[in-house]
Structure 1
């Protein structure tokens, strides 16, 4: 008399096993897709970070060149002033670059307290601001790339969990004792539920 209930439970177990295999196969494919997408986003972000870093280096080079030019002109002004050649000093001063003239005027207005106008915060050579902005963008993109890489790794790890579900489900349908098959299937369902809950916490990239 127990054969019919056992047969019914066996059929239910088979149906649940097939359903679990099907849904887990789909979720495994989805995790692989998302891992690939986030890997692509990581590559793009790394490329953008590298590009910004190269542009920042170029802008910094421009700023150094401008500073070197200003330093050369300023040195001539210092020599002319020390020699008492006021006309020459004024001639040189009239030819200061605009960004250096701003710092120079502020330096003189404060009684020349600092060691030259280059120490003033008003001195901002061309390219300096751009270099700082590009370096900040490069840092942000690099951090974004690392985050994308972690997201891809998370999806890959989830793929391993779903693979474990497939393994347990397949083993539950083998010719084993009934209680062992049901235990394996129950464990597979538990792992699958945990993996699905974790999956819902992950960001999606289409």
Structure 2
């Protein structure tokens, strides 16, 4: 046998190469699908973020309207209360009774509580019983606005998480594609091994993410 004759192929070399190529094709296909899924989820969570921000803004506007109604009611009650004080200071019982009959339901409840406690507080407006209409509604709407705003921020973070995972899967595609180039065998093994590790890490992380359909 002359020195120029090529060395015989090692047994199993062809099978190993085909397995490597098959694994690379599988990785490219699977990761391409997962990358598209991450993009879809990022878009969905971005939509959820926009909806939550919109609902938070709407609730805030409604809360402002309700708070304005409460302020108007308090102003009207305050004006009536001022007249009651003046009538009381003048010992005009008829006028006092006339004004008391025109107290709003909220002021009347607070006035009764204030009177029952011996009128020791600064006035019925200082009583916990005085709640002008719109106060509770404004508090509920503000709480909803705060919650939806927090939801929007969380949805934004979820979308960002999927986007970051897309970058990781893109790295897997890059490493897998590079492993198919003509190079020494250990280089192919190294690149393909790194891509497998990165793919497994990405899939594990993906399994922990919430899904929006």
Return the TM-score normalized by structure 1. Answer: 0.98
Instruction: Please name the residue that 1:149 is paired with.
Output: 156
1:101 to 104, 108, 133: 108
State how far apart, in whole Å, the 1-side matches of 2:12 and 2:190 are. Answer: 18
Written as runs of structure 1 = structure 2, the 5 A alignment for 1:59-70 is 59-70=66-77
State how far apart, in whole Å, the 2-side matches of 1:110 and 1:88 are. Answer: 23
State how far apart, in whole Å, the 2-side matches of 1:122 and 1:145 are. Answer: 36
Match of 1:62, SS state, is helix
Instruction: Please name the residue that 2:3 is paired with.
Output: none
Q: Deviations over 1:74-121 (max 9, x none)?
A: 000001101111111111111000111000110011011111100111
Instruction: Please name the residue that 2:5 is paired with.
Output: none
Q: Deviations over 1:20-41 (max 9, x none)?
A: 0000000000000000000000
Return the TM-score normalized by structure 2. Answer: 0.95
Deviation of residue 193 (structure 1)?
0.4
- Pair 1:196-2:164 in alignment: no
State how far apart, in whole Å, the 2-side matches of 1:113 and 1:152 are. Answer: 57
Written as runs of structure 1 = structure 2, the 5 A alignment for 1:4-19 is 4-19=11-26
- Give 5+ residue unaligned stretches, structure 2: 1-7
Q: Deviations over 1:133-184 (max 9, x none)?
A: 0001111111111111111111111101100100100111111211011110
Deviation of residue 5 (structure 1)?
2.4
- Pair 1:85-2:92 in alignment: yes
Aligned length: 206
1:158 to 153, 165, 182: 165
> RMSD of the alignment, in Å?
0.9
Q: Is the radius of gyration larger for structure 1 or structure 2?
A: 2
State how far apart, in whole Å, the 1-side matches of 2:123 and 2:9 are. Answer: 100
- Pair 1:131-2:138 in alignment: yes
Instruction: Please name the residue that 1:52 is paired with.
Output: 59
State how far apart, in whole Å, the 1-side matches of 2:105 and 2:37 are. Answer: 59
Greater CA drift, 82-91 or 132-141: 82-91
State how far apart, in whole Å, the 2-side matches of 1:39 and 1:4 are. Answer: 54
Deviation of residue 4 (structure 1)?
4.2
Instruction: Please name the residue that 2:35 is paired with.
Output: 28
State how far apart, in whole Å, the 2-side matches of 1:137 and 1:30 are. Answer: 31
Deviation of residue 6 (structure 1)?
2.4
Q: Deviations over 1:43-85 (max 9, x none)?
A: 0011000000000000000000000000000000001101111
Q: Hey, which bits of structure 1, 4+ residues long, moved more than 6 A?
A: none
- Pair 1:175-2:174 in alignment: no
